Chain A
Amino acid sequence: MTKQSFADPRKPVPLLASEVANKSIEIPTDVFPSLRGGFIVTANGSGMVNAGIHSGDLLIMDTELSAQDGDIVAASLDGQFLCRRVFFEGERTRLRREDGITPDVITEDCVIRGVLVGLMRNVRETPDF
Chain B
Amino acid sequence: MNDCRTILHSDMNAFYASVEMMLDPRLRGKAVAVCGSTEDRHGIVLAKSNLAKKAGVKTGMVNWEARRLCPDLIVVPPQYDQYLKYSKLDHEIYYRYTDLVEPFGMDECWLDVTGSGIYGTGMEIAEEIRQATKDELGLTVSIGVSFNKVFAKLGSDMKKPDAITEITKENYQEKVWTLPASDLLYVGPATTRKLATHCVRTIGDLARVGPDVLQQWFGINGLKLWRYASGTDASRVMQKDYESPIKSIGHGITCTADLESDEDVYKVMLELSQDVGRRLRLHGLAATGVQIWIRSNDLSGSQFQCKLPYKTQVPIEIAEAGYRLFRNNYSWRIPVRAITIRGINLVSQSQCEQLSLFFDHTKHDKRMLLQNAVEDIRRRFGKRSIYNAILMGELKMPNDNRDLVRMPGLMYQ
Contacts and interface: CB of A to CB of B under 8 A. Distances in A.
A32 B407 CA distance: 12
Interface of B: 11, 15-16, 35-37, 40, 42-47, 59, 77-81, 83-85, 87, 103-108, 182, 185-191, 402-413
Given A16-B16, A17-B108, A26-B404, A7 B410 contact: no
A40 B407 CA distance: 6
Contacts of B15: 16
A39 B36 contact: no
Contacts, number: 150
A23 B409 contact: yes
Contacts of A106: none
A121 to B, nearest CB: 15
Given A23-B187, A39-B408, A42-B410, 14 more contacts: A2-B77, A16-B105, A16-B107, A18-B107, A19-B105, A22-B188, A24-B186, A27-B407, A29-B402, A29-B403, A37-B407, A42-B409, A80-B42, A81-B412
B206 to A, nearest CB: 14
Interface in A9-26: 13-26
25 contacts: A4-B81, A5-B81, A6-B85, A14-B84, A14-B106, A15-B106, A16-B105, A16-B107, A19-B411, A20-B410, A21-B409, A21-B410, A21-B411, A23-B186, A24-B409, A25-B409, A40-B407, A42-B409, A60-B407, A76-B80, A79-B35, A79-B36, A79-B44, A79-B78, A109-B37
A36 B347 CA distance: 30
A14 B107 CA distance: 9
Interface of A: 1-7, 13-29, 32-33, 35-42, 44, 60, 76-81, 109, 111, 128-129
Given A32-B405, A80-B36, A44 B413 contact: yes
Contact of A37 (B46, B59, B405): B405
Describe B's contact surface by its main secondary structure: mixed
A76 B11 CA distance: 22
Given A22-B182, A22-B188, A27 B80 contact: no
Given A2-B80, A21-B188, A26-B404, A79 B410 contact: no
Contact of B404 (A13, A22, A29): A29
B77 A1 contact: yes
B410 A41 contact: yes
B105 A14 contact: yes
Contacts of A17: 11, 104-108
Given A5-B81, A78-B44, A129-B188, A27 B16 contact: no
B106 A25 contact: no
Contacts of B84: 7, 13-14
B403 A77 contact: no
A39 B81 contact: no
A25 B40 CA distance: 35
